[in-house]
């Protein structure tokens, strides 16, 4: 997931930035986050702890954001855009299948404008618009689904 996020941020680097939560923010240039994020062990440990917690409780932190224009697709939860740590939580549901190479209906799909704004061309909100690190946590569920937690930091 770490490599995928960096790949997508690279693909959208010429798009221009976005400041704020999906569908609530504004376009912003220039980028203030680095396009390619660095792995951070401390953030990864925190993300793993959160992934394990949400896998136990089923209650992600933050505000729920639906997949753009597709009912029944995977949602994401976001919190902390204007803090030192910005967190995305999402469940990859084994019962929601991807379609073709684009993986339609999956939260991390290129076709999902919500995740494009929230992550792929996100550049953050002042005073914490300088994210350059990423940690990823993953918790597998017994039904084959996965809870992902991504924490972006300064």
Question: What average pLDDT is seen over the chain?
Answer: 91
The residue count of the chain comes to 154
* pLDDT score, position 46: 98
- Mean pLDDT throughout 112-118? 93
Contacts of 18 (CB under 8 A, 6+ apart): 25, 26, 27, 28, 116, 117, 121, 122, 123
Please answer whether residues 87 and 76 qualify as being in contact, where contact means their C-beta atoms are separated by less than 8 angstroms.
no
Tokens 């240039």 label which residue?
29
- Mean pLDDT throughout 136-148? 95
Q: pLDDT tens across 47-82, in order?
A: 999 999 999 998 999 999 988 877 778 899 999 999
Q: pLDDT tens across 18-28, in order?
A: 999 999 999 99
Tokens of 30: 């220039």
* pLDDT score, position 101: 44
Count CB neighbours of 130 within 10 A. 14
Sign of CA dihedral 59, 64, 67, 72: positive
In this prediction, residue 125 has a pLDDT band, given cuts at 50, 70 and 90, of confident
Residue 99 has pLDDT above 60, yes or no: no
Q: Specify whether domain 2-18+27-153 bears CATH 2.70.98.
A: no
């Amino acid at each position: 997931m770490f490599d995928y996020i960096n790949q997508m941020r690279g693909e959208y680097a010429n798009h221009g930035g976005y400041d704020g939560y999906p569908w609530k923010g504004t376009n912003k240039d220039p980028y203030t986050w680095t396009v390619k994020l660095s792995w951070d062990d401390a953030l990864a440990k925190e993300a793993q702890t959160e992934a394990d917690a949400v896998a136990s409780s089923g209650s992600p932190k933050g505000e729920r954001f639906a997949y753009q224009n597709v009912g029944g697709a995977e949602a994401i939860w976001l919190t902390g855009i204007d803090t030192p740590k910005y967190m995305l939580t999402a469940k990859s549901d084994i019962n929601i299948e991807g379609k073709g190479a684009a993986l339609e209906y999956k939260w991390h799909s290129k076709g999902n404008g919500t995740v494009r704004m929230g992550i792929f061309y996100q550049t953050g909100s002042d005073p914490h618009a300088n994210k350059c690190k990423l940690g990823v946590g993953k918790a597998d569920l017994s039904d084959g689904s996965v809870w992902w937690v991504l924490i972006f930091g300064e």
